[in-house]
Amino acid sequence: MIHHAGLIAAFMGGGWRGVLIEGPSGAGKSDLALRCLDQGFALVADDRVELWTSGGALYGRAPDTLLGRIEVRGLDVLPAPALAWCRVTLCVRAGTPDRIPEPAFTDDFGLRIPVLTLALLESSAPAKLSRALRHLGGGQ
């Protein structure tokens, strides 16, 4: 299935852990991904993500026409190194987070995936995402 989102990944615990970034157009999905790339994350997909399940896990990749490309608003759609695919272990949704939220999960994909609500354009968003991935997105 094609999903309107971005997908980035960090290498942790011996493997790639993917973060699916969801939100409406203009919410800052590509902006957050771009800032995370500067913090050591890898691009998997920008704007559209092909998702599938296998063996009780969710995986994602870029459609062929978008592989290795990321939108840099105000500049262009530019080439960027990208992973061919990764396992999705955390879902980030654009929004205003509670100060200390209750744990949240999505089963939109038939699997229980941790969800983090995040103000995507906050300067601290990449640091929060990285910490959430370590804490919530362990791939359990």
Interval 19-76: pLDDT, tens: 999 999 999 999 999 999 999 999 999 999 999 999 999 999 999 999 999 999 889 9
Q: Closest Cα to residue 49, out of 79, 80, 5?
A: 5
Task: Give the integer Cα–Cα distance in Å for 133 and 128.
Answer: 9
* Interval 69-96: pLDDT, tens: 999 988 999 999 999 999 999 999 999 9
Is 22:91 a contact under the CB 8 Å cutoff?
yes
Gap between the Cα atoms of 107 and 53, Å rounded: 12
Quick one: 40 exposed, middle or buried, by C-beta within 10 A (0-12, 13-18, 19+)? Answer: exposed
pLDDT band at 13 (very low <50, low <70, confident <90, very high): confident
Rounded CA-CA distance 117/104 in Å is: 9
Q: Residue 102 is encoded by which pair of tokens?
A: 């209750």
Model pTM above 0.85: yes
DSSP string, 15-36: EEEEEEEE--TTSSHHHHHHHH
Looking at residue 88, its pLDDT comes to 96
As a whole-number percent, the residues of the chain with pLDDT over 90 amount to: 85
Give the contacts of 41 (CB within 8 A, at least 6 positions apart).
8, 9, 10, 19, 33, 126, 130
The mean pLDDT of 126-131, rounded to a whole number, is 94
pLDDT of 139? 44
Pairing of strands 15-22, 86-94: parallel
